[in-house]
Structure 1
Amino acid sequence: MSEIRKVESTRYVAHLPFTARDLSSALIFTRTLVRSLAFLDELDGGEATLTYEGEQNQHHRIFCDLLVANGRRCERRAGHDGSCQPRGGLRA
C-alpha cells in the first residue's frame, strides 16, 4: 500500500485591483466577491481586507470574523451592531 502524505501549504495574499465609486461600494464589491468564492477551501474569506491602491498600509476589515459557537466565525460585517453569529458560506 502506498502511504498518503500531508502536503503543507503556504499562505499567500492575492492583490486584485478594481475601481469603485467610494469605500462603501468597494466594501460591498469585496463582500460579494468573497462570498461568491466561499466554496473554495483554500480561501480564508474571513481574513479579507480592503485597501486604497495608494495606501496599502491601511487595511479595512470586511468581516467581523470573531469565533462564535461550534468553532465557526462571525460572518457579519466588520463593526456590526448586535451579537455575532455564523451565517452563509465563509469557512471556519
Structure 2
Amino acid sequence: MDEIRKVAPVESARYVAHLPFSATDLSSALIFARTLVRSLAFLDELDGGETTVTHEDEQDGHHRVFCDRLVASGRRCERRPEHEGACQPRGGLRT
C-alpha cells in the first residue's frame, strides 16, 4: 500500500536572502548573524560560511562573519575571520 517513490534530484541555483535586523553596533550585528547561522545549521541548503553583515546604508561594505577556510573532512572553519591559531570546525558549516 505505502509505496516509496524516488524523486530525481533537482538542479538548483544559489540565492541570497537579505534579512534586515537592528543592532547597536557592528560587533553585536556579527554576533547576531553568527548565532542565526548556527541555529539554522541543520538546513543543508544553507551555506553559513558565506555569511556577511552590512550596514543598511552601506551595502558595498560586507563584513565576513566566519573565517570559512576549508578544514578536515570537507568542513569549513567556524572561527571568526582573521582569527589566531589553527582553523577548527566547531559544528554545522558545510561546504
Q: TM-score, normalised by structure 2?
A: 0.89
Q: Does 1:48 align with 2:48?
A: no
Aligned residues: CA RMSD: 1.4
Gaps of 5+ in 2: none
For structure 1, the 5+ residue unaligned runs are: none
The runs of at least 4 aligned residues of structure 1 exceeding 3 Å deviation read: none
The CA distance in 2 between the partners of 1:91 and 1:40, in whole Å, is 10
Q: 2:19 aligns with which of 6, 11, 16?
A: 16
Q: Distance in 2 between matches of 1:73 and 1:89?
A: 9
Report deviation, 1:3: 7.2
Given the two structures, how large is their TM-score scaled by the length of structure 1?
0.92
Q: Which structure is larger by alpha-carbon Rg, 1 or 2?
A: 2
User: How many pairs are equivalent?
Assistant: 91
Q: Secondary structure at the match of 2:33?
A: helix
Q: List aligned pairs for 1:1-92, cutoff 5 A.
A: 4-92=7-95
Same amino acid, percent of matched pairs: 75
